[in-house]
Amino acid sequence: MAQQEARQRRPSIHDVASHAGVSAATVSKVLAGVITVKPENAQRVFDAVERLGYRVDPLASDMRRAKRRIIGAIMPEFESEFFGSMVTELEGLAEQRGYTLVAASSRESEAREKEILARMHDWRVAGVVLAPVRNEHGPAAAFMKAHGMTGVLIDRVLSDDAFDTVSADSFAASAEVARMLIGNGHSHILVIGLAEQAATVRARLEGFRSQALALNPSARIDVITSEVSVEPLRSSLRDYFGRGERPTAVYSLLLKGTLVALSEFRRRGWHCPNDISLVGFDDAEWMQVTWPAIAAVVQPVRQIASEAMNLLFRRVEGDAGPPAARLEPCQVLMRESVGSPGNGPHSGGGDRQQPPLS
Amino acid sequence: MAQQEARQRRPSIHDVASHAGVSAATVSKVLAGVITVKPENAQRVFDAVERLGYRVDPLASDMRRAKRRIIGAIMPEFESEFFGSMVTELEGLAEQRGYTLVAASSRESEAREKEILARMHDWRVAGVVLAPVRNEHGPAAAFMKAHGMTGVLIDRVLSDDAFDTVSADSFAASAEVARMLIGNGHSHILVIGLAEQAATVRARLEGFRSQALALNPSARIDVITSEVSVEPLRSSLRDYFGRGERPTAVYSLLLKGTLVALSEFRRRGWHCPNDISLVGFDDAEWMQVTWPAIAAVVQPVRQIASEAMNLLFRRVEGDAGPPAARLEPCQVLMRESVGSPGNGPHSGGGDRQQPPLS
DNA sequence: TCCAATCGATAAATCGATTTTTCGTTCTTG
DNA sequence: CAAGAACGAAAAATCGATTTATCGATTGGA
């Protein structure tokens, strides 16, 4: 079709102009949809574009504007389903608006987060969707403020005085989990999480605890958190069980914690839900195919992404209203990993198939 | 420190020039490391850069070169650990070389794949790392060829006459799986996969089958594949078991297949490895914490990413040698989901805890 | 001492678009 | 019928860098 001798230098707007017998300015106007061009000339431009297979160079096109048609996205990691689909959604939404999404992984490092942001500032991105490693008070958000960048904070964040925020309604979802566990008769529950992700994890903890104690004031809610990474959490958990603590249910405030809990159950030969119940914040595809299926809180990825982009583009277009703080409702999927206590609690070891690992 | 009245218009190279009392050309040379500049002037440039907090605008900088310092990466999806960590690795490697990685998800669509590629061509990317949806013969690779783009094909690809390719050594890994299963005494094995991802999946199948039959010529190897998506695979599998077929082991050629197999085992109340053994191509974090842990082939993500980038940059720098086809060795992790047949095969239903789902 | 070669640095062209300014026609209107 | 408004399009400025061409000042050798 229209590509003749491609592979060489791509045609520029001037090539189109000369083929159409008009000036480059006219070509630009036609392509931008300006109506003050004689229909005859417009047609000749379209023909030339078609014949040469011309496409606008987005880089050159962006040169003259202060804000380029680029959106930056910074996620703590790409390896999980949650952030993976978040990036996919954001990419689609940016694309719909004619923007290019440039995604980067901060790899759970605030230092890297700031570096990436500086690089995005170099690119003069129109806006940034930042999922901070820790919370809204990190150096990255400060950098954005200091340089007058427009952006939206998502996920591990509750509200901010400078930026719009969008996250899952951790508090409500955790309260829902509490209702289900307490309703099932659990009165000694262990909650595990990473404290460093302050904002949301705290909301998850408080949402759970307040609802649980409201429903059963004598319930015992133990909490194990680790400041830094997931490994200390694992050893704390091991110590906890090693001391003889025997909660009838565990609620993990984050996906990695759910994995840690499961692997500790394995070590001890405990099975869900007979020996102990388990609910995790954050769903994953595999959780419905394992035996038992793992109960989980599903975060509304699409809604978060869509709301974040809406707010972001409102800002890009100049809205200067006060920052919004959106909470999107979650869905709690009760699965087989949750049962009632006393159905055969703590049989003391793998009673079939596998011996407990050393 | 050096940012004074940031938030306004960013300083350009001309601002630096006037502050340093030299021309813009000199600034450019100093920053590029050209040595034909008087040390005194160089120092003044560095001082001005520091004082103004100047940083090069990568967009403007790229304007003059035919190939911009941008690398495109196209993955079929971002939701899985494999492609998620692939993007993370690629991003780091591009960054090391001073390039920006722009990643996009083709969402398992060849049409979208081609559109993305066209957009990357518009950006005049220096190179593309393409993980094709299907194989090396898709429209995306054709587009790259037609437009003289430089690129590397990874993952679902074996070799190509125009581009370097890098993928996991599916054949060898599958042969290894065959050795383990046959070695464990399995003589009736079901292999499941998606045929559309022709190149690699076929290699996985053949690697397995040839080795299995070499070790036990009378072994029965059944194969179930689906052309399009994963759902037909599920129903085929259901039919297969429904007909009364009772292999003692299942080897899934892809992650989604492993999930499908597990969920079908659930429906029937079968447990691994007593009722049936399971091995999957592609590892995931959760596979080692479930009960039983799922045996899997681990793909060498880092090596694939690193090799792909090496090859790509060699091409970017002008190498015109014949295309290379790299195969990186995998690791096979035998876990509890594999046992010997006859340990209690097909007890007929969940013999503890959970009744089979309807 | 004078011309040429060398050195260091500046001016100007360039990349490929967009946007503003300028300019020539045509159409109104007094 | 001439002055001014309206229209359409071309010319030129602009974005922020890099690169080439140019230029002036030393330094060299003859």
| Whether the Cβ atoms of residue A326 and residue A164 lie closer than 8 Å to each other | yes
Same domain? A45 vs A96 = no
Domain that holds residue A26: 13-56
Question: Is residue B334 domain-resident?
Answer: no
All residues of chain A having their beta carbon less than 8 Å from the beta carbon of residue B101 are 104
Start-to-end CA distance of chain A, whole Å, equals 67
* CB-CB under 8 Å, A88 with B78: yes
Q: Assign A125 to helix, strand or coil.
A: strand
Q: Which helix (H) or strand (E) holds B66?
A: none
Same domain? A174 vs A162 = no
* CB-CB under 8 Å, B77 with A81: no
What is the reported pLDDT for A345?
45
Chain B: give the shortest CA distance to residue A44, in Å. Answer: 23
pLDDT digits (tens, 9 = 90+) for B134-145: 889 999 999 999
* CB-CB under 8 Å, A103 with B103: yes
Same domain? B175 vs B290 = yes
What is the reported pLDDT for A4?
41
When mean pLDDT is compared across A323-327, B128-132, B340-344, the lowest value belongs to B340-344
Mean pLDDT over A118-147 rounds to 95
The residue of chain B nearest to residue A270, with distances taken between CA atoms, is B291
Question: Is residue A352 domain-resident?
Answer: no
* CB-CB under 8 Å, A148 with B6: yes
All residues of chain A having their beta carbon less than 8 Å from the beta carbon of residue B292 are 353-354
Same domain? A287 vs A182 = yes
What is the reported pLDDT for B197?
66
Q: Using the CB atom, is residue A34 less than 7 Å from strand C?
A: no
Query: Given a cut of 80, is residue A356 above it in pLDDT?
Result: no
Q: Which amino acid is at A33?
A: G
What is the reported pLDDT for B188?
96
| Residue that has been written with the tokens 């978060």 in this structure | A304
What is the reported pLDDT for A183?
96
What is the reported pLDDT for A197?
66
Which strands sit side by side in the sheet containing A325-328, from one edge to the other?
A100-105, A68-75, A125-130, A151-154, A164-168, A325-328
* CB-CB under 8 Å, B81 with A147: no
Question: Is residue A90 domain-resident?
Answer: yes
Please report, rounded to whole angstroms, the spatial distance between the CA atom of protein residue B259 and the C1' atom of nucleotide C18.
Answer: 52
DSSP B21: T
Chain A: give the shortest CA distance to residue B24, in Å. Answer: 18
What is the reported pLDDT for A234?
93
Question: Is residue B1 domain-resident?
Answer: no
Same domain? B285 vs B318 = no
Same domain? B293 vs B175 = yes
Average pLDDT over chain A, rounded to an integer: 91
* CB-CB under 8 Å, B288 with A286: no
Interface test with A, best of B289, B335, B340, B351 (most A CBs within 10 A): B289
All residues of chain A having their beta carbon less than 8 Å from the beta carbon of residue B10 are 124
What is the reported pLDDT for A344?
53
Question: Is residue B197 domain-resident?
Answer: yes
Mean pLDDT over B25-51 rounds to 94
Give the pLDDT band of residue B357 (cuts 50, 70, 90).
very low
pLDDT digits (tens, 9 = 90+) for A225-240: 998 788 899 999 999 9
**CB atoms closer than 10 angstroms to residue B85:** 18
Name which of A332, A326, A45 is nearest A168 in CA terms. Answer: A326
Among A85, A124, A288, whose Cβ lies nearest the Cβ of B79?
A85
Mean pLDDT over B243-256 rounds to 95
Q: Which two tokens stand for residue B235?
A: 């129903």
Mean pLDDT over A315-342 rounds to 94
Same domain? B69 vs B91 = yes
Please report, rounded to whole angstroms, the spatial distance between the CA atom of protein residue B25 and the C1' atom of nucleotide C12.
Answer: 11
Same domain? B119 vs B47 = no
Instruction: Return the C-alpha torsion angle A60, A92, A50, B138, nearest 10.
Output: 110
When mean pLDDT is compared across A30-34, A328-332, B56-60, the lowest value belongs to A30-34
Question: Is residue A354 domain-resident?
Answer: no
Mean pLDDT over A315-335 rounds to 96
Name which of A243, A246, A123 is nearest B10 in CA terms. Answer: A123
- Cα A108 from chain centroid (whole Å): 13
Among residues B298, B319, B337, which one ends one of the domains? B298
Give the pLDDT band of residue A341 (cuts 50, 70, 90).
confident
Average pLDDT over chain B, rounded to an integer: 91
Question: Is residue B356 domain-resident?
Answer: no
pLDDT digits (tens, 9 = 90+) for B151-197: 999 999 999 999 999 999 999 999 999 999 999 999 999 999 987 66
Same domain? B159 vs B176 = no
CATH of residue A213's domain is 3.40.50.2300
As a whole number of angstroms, the distance between CA A269 and CA A356 comes to 5
Q: Are strands A249-252 and A188-194 parallel, antiparallel or unpaired?
A: parallel
Q: Assign B64 to helix, strand or coil.
A: coil
Q: Which two tokens stand for residue A59?
A: 């880089």
More confident residue, A343 or B291: B291
Q: Which two tokens stand for residue A308?
A: 């974040």
Same domain? A197 vs A262 = yes
Looking at the structure of chain A, the number of domains it has is 3
pLDDT digits (tens, 9 = 90+) for A76-116: 999 999 999 999 999 999 999 999 999 999 999 999 999 99
As a whole number of angstroms, the distance between CA A313 and CA A225 comes to 37
For residue B139, is the peptide bond before it cis, meaning its omega torsion is within 30 degrees of 0? no
Same domain? A158 vs A190 = no
**CB atoms closer than 10 angstroms to residue B36:** 6
CATH of residue B43's domain is 1.10.260.40
Q: Could you say which nucleotides of strand D lie within 7 A of any protein CB atom?
A: 7-12, 14-21
- DSSP assignments along B96-158, one per residue: HTT-EEEEEE-TT-HHHHHHHHHHHHHTTEEEEEE--SS-TTSHHHHHHHHTT--EEEESS--
> What percent of chain A clears pLDDT 90, i.e. is strictly above it?
83
Question: Is residue B336 domain-resident?
Answer: no
| Whether the Cβ atoms of residue B337 and residue B272 lie closer than 8 Å to each other | yes
Query: Given a cut of 80, is residue A146 above it in pLDDT?
Result: yes
Contacts of B92 (CB under 8 A, 6+ apart): none
Please report, rounded to whole angstroms, the spatial distance between the CA atom of protein residue A54 and the C1' atom of nucleotide C24.
Answer: 30
Q: Using the CB atom, is residue A6 less than 7 Å from strand D?
A: no
Same domain? A101 vs A140 = yes
Give the pLDDT band of residue B199 (cuts 50, 70, 90).
confident
All residues of chain A having their beta carbon less than 8 Å from the beta carbon of residue B122 are 55-58
- DSSP assignments along A34-97, one per residue: -S-S-HHHHHHHHHHHHHHT----HHHHHHTSSSEEEEEEEES-SSSHHHHHHHHHHHHHHHHT
